[in-house]
Amino acid sequence: TSVTNEDVTWKTPSNIALVKYWGKRNPQLPKNASISFTLNNCHTITKMTFEKNEEIVATNDFDFDVFFEGEKNEAFKPKISTFFKRIESYCPYLKDYKFKIESENSFPHSSGIASSASGMSAIALCIMSLERSLSVLEMTDDYFFKKASFLARLGSGSACRSVKGELVVWGEHKDINGSSDLFGVEFKDEVHSNFKNYQDTILLVDKGEKQVSSTVGHNLMHGHPFAEQRFSQANENIARIKGILKSGDLDAFVNLVESEALTLHAMMMTSNPYFILMKPNTLKIINKIWEYRKESNSHLCFTLDAGANVHLLFPVSEKETVAKFVEKEMAQYCQNNHYICDVVGKGAQQL
């Protein structure tokens, strides 16, 4: 059956890496394995409408319109066009259709939360729904989600970790069954109940555009004096975190996760050219967390993406106490006192 004038809608989550991906080789393959928590509340909803082109149109370009939060958007078109170009050889039917892509995020526009992971995985899943409807043979779910993650990776590396939940590994690693550089896989090993419903409160320190894009940052790992050490450290940390997730050792978790965050930023500071994405309030927050831990037996810890915002990670058992601490001590360091409470989620969902 061919699809004419049909549509599909996917809701896809953002994710936060515990062991970070920083440094890649062509075509969008990671220099080390990474692992992330899939989020629940921070998500993108994308509706894609497919209209079959009746005649073969001689065009070198893809035929699509983008609407973001209800309004026609030209700004996202080049990025999506580049994405389509990259995946065309895997999706040869793309030029047979005219697409309408309507997207919205659950988090406020330009809140400084990377929307590329949820945004790219949403488009990838919509395209896979089209592919499934075109496919003569029945497509297995395994193939569907693997290829969706594979395509999402070509949009934005970390987007391949935004298809499944609750923990996803991307990058071939000897200790992770089925792991691959080409797509993210669900972490299937044993996970201790300490990590059930793990919380992530995102402190929006800086909602502005990043000064250095992650594309530029990844590229600066070529010829970086500490690159090789970093890639092997990350791979060792994957092995370590596997043990930590199994044993439920929260002290070890805090230590590994915070070290990963600071190492990511240390790589930025020791690149050439060097750069700093943290802001004064990022450091104030980090110091407050360390004080808070010293004064209590809390396992509240932080992690960072490629930006100034701080993700507070903590067990669900601390939900009430941390909520009070955040409101009283942390909100003041956020732009317009803005922060988002999230929790680990289960992955993309077709609506």
Tell me the CA distances in angstroms from 327 to 193, 307, 309, 332, 338, one per residue in order: 27, 22, 16, 8, 10
8, 10, 20, 312: which one contacts ligand PMV (CB under 6 A)? 20
Cα-Cα end-to-end distance for the chain? 21
Closest to ligand PMV by CB, 36 or 298: 36
What is d(CA 219, CA 232) in angstroms, rounded to the nearest whole number?
18
Stretch touching ligand PMV by CB under 6 A, among 14-22, 51-59, 86-94, 127-135 = 14-22
33, 148, 244, 306: which one contacts ligand PMV (CB under 6 A)? 306
3, 8, 17, 220: which one contacts ligand PMV (CB under 6 A)? 17
* 21 contributes a contact to ligand PMV by CB under 6 A: yes
23, 157, 184, 315: which one contacts ligand PMV (CB under 6 A)? 157
* 34 contributes a contact to ligand PMV by CB under 6 A: yes
- At 326, phi and psi to the nearest 5? -65, -45
* 14 contributes a contact to ligand PMV by CB under 6 A: no
User: What is the CB neighbour count within 10 angstroms for residue 199?
Assistant: 21
* 156 contributes a contact to ligand PMV by CB under 6 A: yes
Q: What is the nearest approach in angstroms of ligand PMV to the Cβ of residue 116?
A: 6
Instruction: Please tell me whether the peptide bond between 27 and the residue prior to it is cis, using omega within 30 degrees of 0.
Output: yes
Closest to ligand PMV by CB, 17 or 101: 17
Can you spell out the DSSP letters for 72-127?
E-STTHHHHHHHHHHHGGG-TTGGGEEEEEEEEESSPTTSS---HHHHHHHHHHHH
What is d(CA 259, CA 253) in angstroms, rounded to the nearest whole number?
10
Closest to ligand PMV by CB, 97 or 107: 107
Q: Residues touching ligand PMV: how many (CB under 6 A)?
A: 13
Stretch touching ligand PMV by CB under 6 A, among 100-108, 151-159, 191-199, 239-247 = 151-159
The interaxial angle of helices 116-134 and 77-87, nearest 10 deg, is 50
Q: What is the nearest approach in angstroms of ligand PMV to the Cβ of residue 102?
A: 23
* 116 contributes a contact to ligand PMV by CB under 6 A: yes
Q: What is the nearest approach in angstroms of ligand PMV to the Cβ of residue 100?
A: 26
Q: Judge contact between 243 and 176, C-beta under 8 A.
A: no
- What contacts 210, CB < 8 A, 6 or more positions away? 277, 306, 307
Stretch touching ligand PMV by CB under 6 A, among 20-28, 44-52, 255-263, 291-299 = 20-28
Residue ranges in contact with ligand PMV by CB under 6 A: 17, 20-22, 34, 116, 156-158, 214, 264, 305-306
